[in-house]
Amino acid sequence: MSADTIYLKNGRKITASHVTQENGQVSYETSAGRLSFPVSIVDRVVHDDSSPISTAGTVADRAANLPIAPPDALSSPTKSAAVRDGSIDKNLLSELESEASANPSPTAVARVVAAERAAAQFEISVGDFERAVDHYNVGLRYDPNNAGLLMEAAYLHLRRSEYTTALDLLQHARSIEPDSADVAKLSGWAYYGLNRAADAVTQWKRAMELKPDEEIKHALEKAERDAREEAEYHEGETAHFRLKYNGGAAPELAAAVLKTLEAEFEEISTTLNYVPPEPIGVILYTNQTFMDITRAPSWSGALNDGRIRVPVEGLSSMTGELARVLKHELTHSFVSQKTAGHCPVWLQEGLAQYMEGKRSRANAGALASAYERHMEVSLLSYETSWLTLPKEAASVAYAWSLAVVESIVTVNGIDDLGRILERLAAGSTAEDASRAVLREDYPGLMLSTAQFLHKAYL
């Protein structure tokens, strides 16, 4: 896979993958699905075949960001004079708004809705989701029962892990179009994000009846596995967490887990300057159920696929080790949500280890000497899923990831890491984000890390 850069004539730059050109449209993949705009606003597209994209299959993003395609309208954009030459005509937008306010005739309303919709789609295509939400909201003010607008807005909220807001919009859309497969599909996603697996199953079954597709089939299978398992589970709830655990886990342990997680939540929230919009799902397993249901490789202790899944076999109270595991997995939830699922695995794992309190002292010698012998591995190869790595290679990957993050935090400060996460959320590749914030490409980052290890530990 390759990362491409699309340069627009107005100077904006979009990092994308799978860029294609057809029928006067340039289309490409983003976190919001496949998008396109007219060739006329594009200056040039630069293909970079050497670098894999950073967004595919990170461990943490799979449940929170199920690979579900956007509603049809988003892949075949709305045309309106309000968007042209790579920018939004704000004057025209406000003109249309005042016309529709003064005389809300069906024609005036249809025009303002088309314009706001096109503006929203344009903002999505350049990675500005905040502004896109604003445009959908204006459109919905003029035409509150527009099912297409409701669904597109809901899709955007789902991408941002704002499941409750998405669900409100979708319930409204359902009252207008009760037999829409898209409404059922997106509702299933919202329920799944809210840790309501049984409700997700109901919606995805309905979507399969209305209009079957592969995405829903896979999502449904996953939700059914969860729902079966969780039907027998007890529940606990705090401000930021929904906990489920089966009969094999002690209720006192469940209470202690919630208390620990709440304390860790505050700390991570302060450090990363972010508050996840929805409660985070946590599931405690006895070991065998854990392996059965998560299908994780045997070396992985716990797992975060949008929910925090922790094996607790044989434990009856909180231990230092369990508290560390929880903090590690909780960090993944923060990072995954803050970046809308767009964090490379090395940065996810580096940050999670750093937050749980791990440092590079024990590994510093081996890493520094590997670097001197040019035996280090490129961060590029650490961007995508590690779940298929053999155990040895995985330990090396964890060690480098921690060292790089520790070096950045020590040399540049934790705020710079926050800035990198913000750039990832806007669709930047990790190496571009590093260039922009730290003035370092990947080789530069590895060199700084080796220097940091020497200075700090050797």
- What residues make contact with Zn ion under the rule CB under 5 A? 349, 352
CB of 117 to Zn ion, least distance (A): 39
CB of 300 to Zn ion, least distance (A): 8
Other residues' Cβ atoms within 10 Å of the Cβ of residue 24: 9
| CA dist., res. 240 & res. 276, Å (int) | 9
CB of 349 to Zn ion, least distance (A): 5
| Nearer to Zn ion among residue 51 and residue 401 (C-beta) | 401
| Nearer to Zn ion among residue 156 and residue 330 (C-beta) | 330
| Nearer to Zn ion among residue 26 and residue 397 (C-beta) | 397
| Nearer to Zn ion among residue 352 and residue 404 (C-beta) | 352
| Nearer to Zn ion among residue 113 and residue 352 (C-beta) | 352
Say if CB 6 and CB 26 are below 8 A apart. Answer: yes
CB of 443 to Zn ion, least distance (A): 25
385's CB contacts (< 8 A; 6+ apart) are 56, 57, 58, 59, 345
CB of 59 to Zn ion, least distance (A): 6
What values do phi and psi take at 44, rounded to 5?
-160, 160
| Nearer to Zn ion among residue 371 and residue 400 (C-beta) | 400
Residue 6: CA atoms inside 13 Å, Cβ hemisphere, count?
A: 28
User: What is the crossing angle of helices 345-356 and 391-411, to 10°?
Assistant: 70
Q: What is the dihedral of CA 289, 295, 297, 300, to 10 degrees?
A: -60
CB of 350 to Zn ion, least distance (A): 9
| Nearer to Zn ion among residue 51 and residue 348 (C-beta) | 348
| Nearer to Zn ion among residue 352 and residue 368 (C-beta) | 352
| CA dist., res. 142 & res. 117, Å (int) | 12
> What does the DSSP assignment read for 249-313?
S-HHHHHHHHHHHHHHHHHHHHHHT---SSPEEEEEE-HHHHHHHH---TT-SSEESSSEEEE-T
CB of 8 to Zn ion, least distance (A): 37
CA 311 to chain centre: 24
CB of 332 to Zn ion, least distance (A): 6
CA 46 to chain centre: 25
| CA dist., res. 424 & res. 428, Å (int) | 5
Q: Which residue in the shown chain puts its C-beta closest to Zn ion?
A: 352
Q: Which of 420, 421, 374, 378 is nearest to 397 (CA)?
A: 378
